[in-house]
Amino acid sequence: MGPNILQNDTLPSEVDTKTLRGVRDTIRQGFSWATREGPLCEEPIRNTKFRLTDIGLAPEAIFRGGGQIIPTARRACYSSFLMASPRLMEPVYECSMIGPADAVTSVYTVLARRRGHVLQDGPIAGTPLYQVKGLIPVIDSFGFETDLRIHTQGQATLSLVFDRWSIVPGDPLDRDIQLRPLEPASAQATARDFVLKTRRRKGLAEDVTISKFLEPDLFKSLKESGILDG
């Protein structure tokens, strides 16, 4: 996936360009901080575009220092990100499995149980072997080779190579999803499951709340206008 972008969409007629130019570097630092440690799991943000459409700056230079601008820019990035229906991403392996023809069905079965899917399969010319190529999330690849060998009686070989970053199914902020201990999450609850477990592992608060990054008056007005739920 691509990089993150911070775009200045302010109008010269509405914002003092000279003053804005003076805090540009500190705004960029706040943006870099926010994208380096995103609000969902304190992991990097990817492929996101932020647009600066308006800004209010104090006339006194003492109130426009890095100590004021950097954390404010970070909170602004966090709140806009959370309001834009964010999604979680995960690394995905491309897997190549080689074995006899009668092992192909087992390969399909094992791959499907681990949220993977087959891209293509076919015979290898001049041999009695078949090759199956597919994709599998990295988090579900642990123990995959052992599982595959058990189901194919050791007849299949496996190789894994990083392929891409993919969007995890489901909404990571959906509080209506009920997750039960020791039970696998459904497909559409996967993102929510990942977020909660990662935050617990890192010792973070149980859930992400946008009110943490907004001024109380602004949060209240957004709720009353229907822009925010709850």
Amino acid residing at 137: P
Q: Verify that 97 and 81 share a domain, yes or no.
A: no
Measured between alpha carbons, how far is residue 118 from residues 70, 137, 159 in Å? 46, 13, 14
DSSP element (H, E) containing 152: none
Q: Verify that 40 and 56 share a domain, yes or no.
A: yes
Given phi > 0 = left and psi -120 to 50 = alpha, else beta, which region is 49? Answer: beta
Q: Verify that 113 and 37 share a domain, yes or no.
A: no
Q: Verify that 104 and 46 share a domain, yes or no.
A: no
Q: Verify that 76 and 126 share a domain, yes or no.
A: no
Q: Verify that 112 and 54 share a domain, yes or no.
A: no
Residue closest to 93 by CA, chosen among 131, 147, 137: 137
Q: Verify that 150 and 202 share a domain, yes or no.
A: no
Q: How many domains does the chain have?
A: 2
Q: Verify that 162 and 104 share a domain, yes or no.
A: yes
- Find the CATH number of the domain harbouring 60: 3.30.230
Q: Mapping DSSP to helix (H, G, I), strand (E, B) and coil, where does residue 13 land?
A: coil
Q: Verify that 188 and 223 share a domain, yes or no.
A: yes
Q: Verify that 50 and 124 share a domain, yes or no.
A: no
pLDDT for 1: 54
Q: Which of 166, 187, 213 is the last residue of a domain?
A: 166
Q: Which of 166, 188, 218 is the last residue of a domain?
A: 166
* CA–CA dist 88, 188 (Å, integer): 12
DSSP element (H, E) containing 21: helix 17-22
Relative orientation angle of helices 144-151 and 104-113, to the nearest 10 degrees: 140
- Find the CATH number of the domain harbouring 98: 3.30.70.240
pLDDT for 2: 64
Q: Verify that 152 and 60 share a domain, yes or no.
A: no
CA geometry: angle at 167 spanning 163 and 173, to 5°? 150
Which pTM value belongs to this model? 0.81
pLDDT for 146: 92
Task: Tokens for 6, please give them.
Answer: 């911070």
Q: Which residues of the chain have pLDDT under 50?
A: none
Sheet-wide strand order for 89-100: 117-123, 129-137, 89-100, 157-167
Spatial neighbors of 214 by CB under 8 A, at least 6 apart, are 75, 79, 222
**Residue 88 CB burial class (10 angstroms; 0-12, 13-18, ≥19):** buried
Q: Which of 150, 166, 182 is the last residue of a domain?
A: 166
Structural domain harbouring 13: 1-85+168-230
Q: Verify that 146 and 175 share a domain, yes or no.
A: no
pLDDT for 51: 95
Spatial neighbors of 17 by CB under 8 A, at least 6 apart, are none
Measured between alpha carbons, how far is residue 177 from residues 54, 71, 188, 196, 218 in Å? 36, 32, 9, 11, 28
Eight-class DSSP state of 214: S
